[in-house]
A = this chain, B = another copy of it.
């Protein structure tokens, strides 16, 4: 994208294809929509395919800005982004992963444990940079709009930022892997994160040699995608497809979901 444009439109619009200009402001063209869906369907949790190639600062800036424009409860924006390139720091994080992962492997049995041990579950040292996304629970004072009866909403807002970051990275050709097998206290200790700040996500980020066609855990036989039509319920938990008579529109919705699932070759 051209950095020198200073139009009032978001800069990312600048190099869009000409036909997008026919779309009224605020509307999304078929091409825009395709870009979003492509990002969603081709996003992967990357662990093994990182390249050492440097991520340009301008690309990283775009990815972080996308994260920063996530929704947040009461517009709290509770996140910080710790960009970690230091090898000594990443080595400590890696050791914390190894320790937690060894204990984790023991929780699986037999063939399942063998399969678990065969999986590479992080790219801490391989990726050129790591990002720890944290949540400051006190950022907007003691009472936050929308958090009065749901105190976890600030953590959820931070997760929305992670998902924005992940999708933006994918469109930039960058892989992201979320490493959740690290004791939270180890992140506090190694990164000096105060106890009132929650480390929500530890991410590895970088260019990759390739992206898996389907989620890696499916390709490697760990667990398969569930059919979405079995996860849709109507007007309440027990009003599942089996137990009630579906309306025409409910039947149509499930049928459309089944059709689309069948034709997505990555499903």
Residue numbers of A with Cβ under 8 A of B are 1, 3, 5-6, 8-13, 15-17, 19-20, 26-43, 45, 57-58, 60-62, 64-66, 68-71, 73-77, 79-86, 89, 100, 103-104, 107-108, 116, 119, 121, 134, 140, 143, 145-150, 152-153, 155-156, 159-160, 162-164, 166-168, 170-173, 178, 180-184, 190-194, 197, 200-201, 210-211, 215, 217-218, 222-226, 228, 231-238, 249-250, 252-253, 256-257, 259-261, 263-266
Residues of B within 8 A of A252 (CB): 57
Residues of B within 8 A of A201 (CB): 156
Residues of B within 8 A of A180 (CB): 73, 146-147, 149-150, 153
Cβ 8 A contact of A160, one of B64, B163, B224: B163
Find out whether the CB atom of A68 lies under 8 angstroms from the CB atom of B217: no
Bound form: Cα–Cα A17–B20 in Å: 9
